[in-house]
């Protein structure tokens, strides 16, 4: 009998801890990380650029009190009044506005106002539109007909005119910080609700006829559970794209309301549209800094959100995502295929033609 050799402790592989692998890779399933891993080529560049711009805007909004030297409604410093239309200098990095406010401070705090309006407006629109679309599509009947007529009537109205009328009815045209934010958000919500309603209703009409929904009805599953668990969870695939596109439109609507004088009072909060309105007369006088930076902030934020939305749209389409990934991996696969001395690839007999190999994938 041969002696049994004890296992070497230095070469023994430690047992895997249960749940370690799932925790290690769970962060890869996060929405943004997952989309980044799926994207390739120009698509990934668009997504990264949009995320960087949006991230910088979020950082500016959160750190506004720390990175700005003055308050958004501050008109004087230690040496007295700032003065109107002062050129960029060491005291005022981007100059001052026609009203005597610091342009840099107003531009940074305007990011904060825009994000608050976007969050409130999109949240209201999402909740109301999804709930109404789910009820209308699932129950049908006279409820569906009434909701569809109302949604079509609102959707047929000019967007900006509807937002102006709603803002005037709610706040009289201008208000304090939270009053103006709520008035503007509600005005934008009225415009966006029909979009979410139509998307969710169309998906609900399709999903409620599926076999698994019919099976849930047969076994006696409550209606509310079917609507939430089986229908709603499968009807929200296109909502991230719609949210990003609506966020970009909300920024433009907010700026338009402020430009026309129906937004937030300038002494209550910084708002890019109002600052652009006050700088219209400065353009012909060669005073460029009062309009350049608020306008650039609007363009950058809309661009960042739109790039993220377009990338999500491409990633939501399996055909487009598969084609781009296949195109990017095809050159690597061709270069890595070993070639034998006879000129044929490894694994393929010499002299075999394309018709013998089979159709290419």
Domains, the chain, ordered by start: 40-79+91-318 (1.10.3720.10)
Mean pLDDT score of the chain? 78
DSSP H/E element including 308: helix 289-316
Pair 254, 184: CB distance under 8 Å: yes
> What local confidence, expressed as pLDDT, does residue 201 receive?
92
Pair 137, 234: CB distance under 8 Å: no
Lowest-pLDDT range of 73-87, 215-229, 295-309: 73-87
In angstroms, the CA 221 to CA 216 distance is 5
Taking the alpha carbons of 158, 163, 168, 174 in that order, is the dihedral positive or negative? negative
Would you say residue 225 has pLDDT above 60?
A: yes
93-143 per-position pLDDT tens digit? 898 888 889 999 999 999 999 999 889 988 999 999 999 999 999 998 899
DSSP result, 180-197: HHHHHHHHHHHHHHHHHH
Instruction: Provide the Cα torsion 55, 61, 67, 72; round to 10°.
Output: 150
Taking the alpha carbons of 211, 214, 218, 224 in that order, is the dihedral positive or negative? positive
Percent of the chain with pLDDT over 70: 74
> What local confidence, expressed as pLDDT, does residue 55 receive?
93
Pair 295, 255: CB distance under 8 Å: no
> What local confidence, expressed as pLDDT, does residue 149 receive?
93
> What local confidence, expressed as pLDDT, does residue 13 receive?
47
> What local confidence, expressed as pLDDT, does residue 124 receive?
92
Average pLDDT over residues 218-229: 88
Q: How confident is the model at residue 241 (pLDDT cuts 50, 70, 90)?
A: confident
Average pLDDT over residues 20-32: 56
77-95 per-position pLDDT tens digit? 777 788 888 888 888 889 8
CA nearest 104: which of 297, 305, 303? Answer: 297
Q: How confident is the model at residue 294 (pLDDT cuts 50, 70, 90)?
A: very high
Give the contacts of 347 (CB within 8 A, at least 6 positions apart): none
30-73 per-position pLDDT tens digit? 556 666 666 667 778 888 899 899 999 999 999 999 999 888 88
């Amino acid at each position: 009998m041969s002696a049994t050799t004890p296992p070497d402790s230095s070469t023994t592989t430690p047992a895997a801890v249960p749940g370690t692998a799932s925790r290690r890779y769970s962060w890869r399933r996060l929405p943004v990380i997952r989309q980044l891993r799926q994207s390739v080529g120009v698509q990934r560049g668009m997504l990264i650029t949009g995320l960087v711009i949006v991230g910088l805007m979020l950082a500016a909004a959160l750190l506004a009190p720390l990175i700005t030297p003055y308050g958004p409604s501050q008109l004087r410093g230690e040496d007295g009044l700032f003065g109107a239309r002062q050129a960029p200098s060491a005291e005022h990095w981007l100059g001052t506005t026609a009203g005597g406010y610091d342009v840099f401070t107003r531009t940074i705090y305007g990011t904060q106002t825009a994000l608050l309006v976007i969050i409130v407006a999109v949240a209201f629109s999402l909740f109301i539109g999804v709930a109404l679309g789910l009820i209308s599509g699932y129950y049908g009947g006279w409820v569906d007909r009434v909701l569809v007529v109302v949604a079509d009537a609102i959707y047929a109205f000019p967007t900006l005119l509807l937002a102006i009328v709603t803002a005037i009815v709610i706040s009289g045209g201008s208000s304090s910080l939270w009053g103006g934010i709520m008035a503007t958000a509600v005005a934008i919500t009225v415009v966006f609700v029909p979009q979410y309603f139509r998307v969710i209703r169309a998906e609900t009409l399709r999903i409620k006829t599926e076999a698994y929904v019919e099976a849930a009805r047969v076994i006696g599953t409550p209606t509310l559970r079917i609507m939430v668990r089986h229908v709603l969870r499968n009807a929200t695939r296109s909502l991230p794209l719609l949210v990003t596109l609506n966020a970009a439109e909300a920024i433009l609507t907010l700026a338009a309301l402020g430009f026309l004088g129906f937004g937030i009072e300038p002494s209550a909060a910084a708002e890019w549209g109002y600052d652009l309105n006050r700088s219209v007369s400065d353009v012909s006088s060669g005073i460029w800094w009062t309009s350049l930076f608020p306008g650039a902030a609007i363009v950058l934020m809309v661009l960042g959100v739109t790039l993220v939305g377009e990338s999500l749209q491409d990633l939501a389409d399996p055909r487009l995502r598969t084609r781009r990934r296949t195109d990017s991996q095809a050159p690597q696969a061709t270069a890595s295929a070993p070639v034998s001395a006879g000129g044929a690839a490894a694994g393929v007999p010499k002299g075999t033609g394309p018709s013998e190999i089979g159709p290419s994938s």
